Structure 1
Amino acid sequence: MTRNAEKFPAAARETLRDPVLRTNLRRATQAIRAKRAEVVGEVGDWEALRARGRAVKQRVVAELPELLELLERRVTEQGGTVHWARDAAEANAIVVELVAAEGAEEVVKVKSLTTDEIGLNDALEAAGITPYETDLAELIVQLAGDRPSHILVPAIHHGREQIRELFRRTLPGTEDLTDEPEALAEAARRFLRERFLSARVGISGANFAVAETGTVCVVESEGNGRMCTTIPRVLITVMGIEKLVRSIDDLSIMLQLLPRSSTGERMNPYTSMWTGVTAGDGPEEFHLVLVDAGRSGVAADPVGRQALHCIRCSACLNVCPVYERTGGHAYGHTYPGPIGAIVAPQLEGLRGPVSSLPWASTLCGACGDVCPVKIPIPEVLVHLRSEIVERARRGDVAAGERLAMEAMARVFGGRRRYEAAQRAARAGRAPLERMYGGGGHRPPPGLGGWTASRDLPLPAPESFRDWWRKR
């Protein structure tokens, strides 16, 4: 879900002016990176495990229609109900109708990334239903009227002092609250406990669903997910259609990859799995809402479909130098960072503000190196850039820029033409040097946009080829 109307460069300039944000991001991402490196280093066959994880997701995308139908049959056999949503509007309408049918005015939620993507909270509130986020970080973001800034730790941009002041303003009985982590967690726990005990409807996301058994799996670190998925009478799970694995054996691979890559833990503290409904144990109704929202179109792209392999671990965010400096808000979408730079434009149809995101990540390769399922993120970034440029070439880009790019392509396409251009550039060095005062970074008239995010150095006095010939 697009959150602002600005393209990434403009939004990033704003976040770069926030020193507190940058400090919080740097400390958090460095700590997570260090933990991840330690626990990954303990696995002797980590690369082989990554390869197995990649193979699992490749099979899922290749067999997606078959596996989705199998999942529906198994969930139905176990007493659950499956709903199909083509887009966010359909998914929201289904959930609102289910909550209204229960007569509930409040819901508790956990693992909210997909529901955030479709804007479910806004739809619930518009229908007079109050949603309560129960993940601590999601609760912080909700109370602050803010937006998540990270896939794993949505409140990564908030410091302890900010959270203390937020809780003092919004939670009862917190006037003397300190900023100690234990005190902050206890304040949230007291507030949420009443909601858990009174809620008639729980809403969850899903990390994985097993097609062969109809089992849904949620992994989390606080235990609140268990409250949401076991106490309410009705449980609604909202899941993107790509979150499948075929078998329990495939799930076991993912449960080895995910915690190490996301939280830097050997295993996840709370792993909850359920299959349909069981009389006298847990919810009496289970509804699984399968959300497409652009994913079928992504699956049809032989290169872009690799984005659907993502297991939302956020490892790529924690190593990205761009994300560390700008934070998630600059991306303007639910999915930030390198993975967001390929997922968001595809889900939105490569248009609007998110069409700038494939250029919002460097091609250093660090994101692909840490991805637990070996998504070649730089490769997909380049692919999407070419798709967007090709669309522009067919009519959206200004004629002047198109002619300039065609001229550059011709110059770069031949050695003699390229060397002639270098000689011409050197011939013009002196007046440019006088114009720039020796700096060489101010753009000539008409190139302000092109050089807004890159330097334009003066031509070198001598090319490498000329230097080589002389010596």
Structure 2
Amino acid sequence: MNHPQAAEQFNRDIDRTTWHDKALWFVRQKRDRAVYQVPEWEQLRELASQIKNHTLSRLDDYLEEFERNAQQNGIQVHWAANAEEHNRIVLSILQKHNAKRMVKSKSMLTEECHLNPFLEKHGIEVVDTDLGERIIQFSHEPPSHIVMPAIHLKKEEVGRIFHEHLGTPADASDPQFLTETARQHLRQKFVAAEVALSGVNFAIAETGGFVVCTNEGNADLGVTLTPVHIASMGIEKIIPKLEHLGVFTRLLTRSATGQLITAYTSHFHKPRPGQELHVVIVDNGRTEQLGRPDFRNSLKCIRCGACMNTCPVYRRSGGHSYDYTVPGPIGSILSPNTDLKKHSTLPFASTLCGSCSDVCPVKIDIHVQLYKWRQIISKEKVMPAGKRLSMKVLANVLARPSLYARLGRVARKVLSLTPYAISHAGAINPWAIARELPEPPKQSFRDWYAQNAAKEMETPVSPTPVVDPN
């Protein structure tokens, strides 16, 4: 299904849609309160944006610098051009150690590469240790949000999932009880694991180290207990210097969840004695996006999810309706780069209100890029034929003022005579399913203006009397 079809399906459950909308708006409000406490917030956004601009302009240099410094620290660095190479590299490390059990902390890159099903086909048990990720792993779903992967599920649904997979009572839905159950379940997986995989929030070229931000400490626990740590990193995660890190950590969590900082901001610079530390640096279409002048800014994204929490379309359509690893406004920019035809409806999943750009901590011009993708989709003729034809007709009408005025008069007359049941029929007018059509005006503004301008011309102007100043 494309986005409109999937969104329509999500909206059939009105209670869920309303709850989903309110839950995300609550997070957006938390973000606002956290931001208002930082007087220099806009200066931080501008600084972060400029750091990212500079980094993208010299991305190859900084990646090579990171590799040199990481290798000097004893880290083994691997390069992957695409998802297939990334998955093969991870599998080869596991096979080298005869490992069959791996714990994984939340990594959107591994979701993008579909690592879990690939490893499971090769007999590897992969356990997502983030609570939200573990829930959706049990339910065989992809994340619906990059920060809150199970935000689309209610506690009662989580209770049923845990009852099926962990044997909790059928009616258990207390969040504290469910969380404690998950904690005990995951402790066993941590102890039994042979390899741990984490994502990378920021990689520092100057030091060859990287940073992982979590709230549950699952990344720290996994990589501390296992003899092998694999870190999967997109090429856009690099920043030049350690002094730049504080700019992004101040922005990231305030934008994501309204916290001052994540509970755990963990720095990894070298493997501990007796441990192997691997970093897999992945392209997977990012250099192609970098080569698009109109869209390279999207690579500045730090995956905070703020654009999703504020987007009126995402909040009311759910993350799964986007059918892409990264949903929401930023995903609607990234996805056409990977498959323009498959994701041709996503740039239209926006009101272009600009709220996403307003809250972006690195000042990505998201709504502008969505508009530019629409132009490309139209030019490449990958939008539905009906929409292409209707847009062409509309363009011809709007280019002819007299024709536009005549059709406006016809439309006003037809609407005034059309029975309510027909004008609000969903099959004929989907716009009116949830809205009342306004009453057609008796005349357009153009007609009103012309009429009043003519009257003003006919009205004689009284001469202004001359007043003697003396």
> What is the TM-score when the length of structure 1 is the normalising length?
0.89
Query: RMSD across aligned C-alpha pairs, in angstroms?
Result: 2.7
* Aligned-partner Cα distance in 2 for 1:367–1:151: 15
The unaligned stretches of length 5 or more in structure 1 are 1-5
Change (3 A) 1:140 1:427: closer
1:423 has 2:417 as partner: no
Q: Pick the aligned partner of 1:323 from 314, 336, 341.
A: 314
Does the aligned pair in 2 maintain the 1:440–1:457 contact within 8 Å?
no
What is the aligned partner in structure 2 of residue 98 from structure 1? 93
* Aligned-partner Cα distance in 1 for 2:258–2:76: 35
Matched ranges for 1:246-325 at <5 A? 246-279=240-273, 284-325=275-316
Change (3 A) 1:225 1:463: same
* Aligned-partner Cα distance in 2 for 1:31–1:433: 41
Alignment identity in percent?
41
Does the aligned pair in 1 maintain the 2:82–2:282 contact within 8 Å?
yes
* Aligned-partner Cα distance in 2 for 1:406–1:136: 49
1:13 has 2:4 as partner: no
The structure number with the bigger radius of gyration is: 2
SS of the residue corresponding to residue 121 of structure 1 reads helix
1:364 has 2:353 as partner: yes
* Aligned-partner Cα distance in 2 for 1:391–1:459: 37
What is the aligned partner in structure 2 of residue 171 from structure 1? 166
Residues 454-463 or 375-384, more deviating: 454-463
Match of 1:22, as an amino acid?
T
Change (3 A) 1:36 1:407: closer
Does the aligned pair in 1 maintain the 2:81–2:282 contact within 8 Å?
yes
Deviation at 1:177, TM superposition (A): 8.0
Q: Pick the aligned partner of 2:50 from 55, 77, 80.
A: 55
Change (3 A) 1:402 1:108: closer
Does the aligned pair in 1 maintain the 2:205–2:241 contact within 8 Å?
yes
Change (3 A) 1:320 1:49: same
* Aligned-partner Cα distance in 2 for 1:297–1:246: 22
Match of 1:469, as an amino acid?
A
Q: Pick the aligned partner of 1:235 from 229, 236, 239.
A: 229
What is the aligned partner in structure 2 of residue 153 from structure 1? 148
* Aligned-partner Cα distance in 1 for 2:171–2:304: 32
SS of the residue corresponding to residue 355 of structure 1 reads coil
Q: Pick the aligned partner of 1:462 from 416, 438, 443.
A: 443
What is the aligned partner in structure 1 of residue 35 from structure 2? 40
Deviation at 1:441, TM superposition (A): 5.6
The unaligned stretches of length 5 or more in structure 2 are 453-470
What is the aligned partner in structure 1 of residue 17 from structure 2? 22
Change (3 A) 1:207 1:80: same
Change (3 A) 1:401 1:158: closer
What is the aligned partner in structure 1 of residue 125 from structure 2? 130
SS of the residue corresponding to residue 216 of structure 2 reads coil
SS of the residue corresponding to residue 202 of structure 1 reads strand
* Aligned-partner Cα distance in 2 for 1:401–1:193: 53
Describe the superposition over 1:35-94 as per-residue Cα deviations: whole angstroms up to 9, x where unpaired: 211111110111101111111111121111111111111111111111111111111111
Q: Pick the aligned partner of 2:368 from 372, 379, 386.
A: 379
What is the aligned partner in structure 1 of residue 335 from structure 2? 344
Match of 1:383, as an amino acid?
K
SS of the residue corresponding to residue 364 of structure 1 reads coil
Change (3 A) 1:70 1:436: farther
Match of 2:353, as an amino acid?
C
Change (3 A) 1:157 1:291: same
Describe the superposition over 1:77-123 as per-residue Cα deviations: whole angstroms up to 9, x where unpaired: 11111111111111111111111111111100002211011100010
Does the aligned pair in 1 maintain the 2:7–2:317 contact within 8 Å?
yes
1:215 has 2:212 as partner: no
* Aligned-partner Cα distance in 1 for 2:83–2:161: 31
Does the aligned pair in 2 maintain the 1:310–1:375 contact within 8 Å?
yes
> What is the TM-score when the length of structure 2 is the normalising length?
0.89
* Aligned-partner Cα distance in 2 for 1:62–1:112: 26
SS of the residue corresponding to residue 381 of structure 2 reads helix
SS of the residue corresponding to residue 236 of structure 1 reads strand
Q: Pick the aligned partner of 1:185 from 179, 188, 198.
A: 179
What is the aligned partner in structure 2 of residue 3 from structure 1? none
Does the aligned pair in 1 maintain the 2:378–2:388 contact within 8 Å?
no
Change (3 A) 1:148 1:196: same
What is the aligned partner in structure 1 of residue 326 from structure 2? 335
SS of the residue corresponding to residue 403 of structure 2 reads helix
* Aligned-partner Cα distance in 2 for 1:333–1:21: 21
Match of 2:341, as an amino acid?
R
Does the aligned pair in 2 maintain the 1:425–1:459 contact within 8 Å?
no
* Aligned-partner Cα distance in 2 for 1:456–1:302: 41
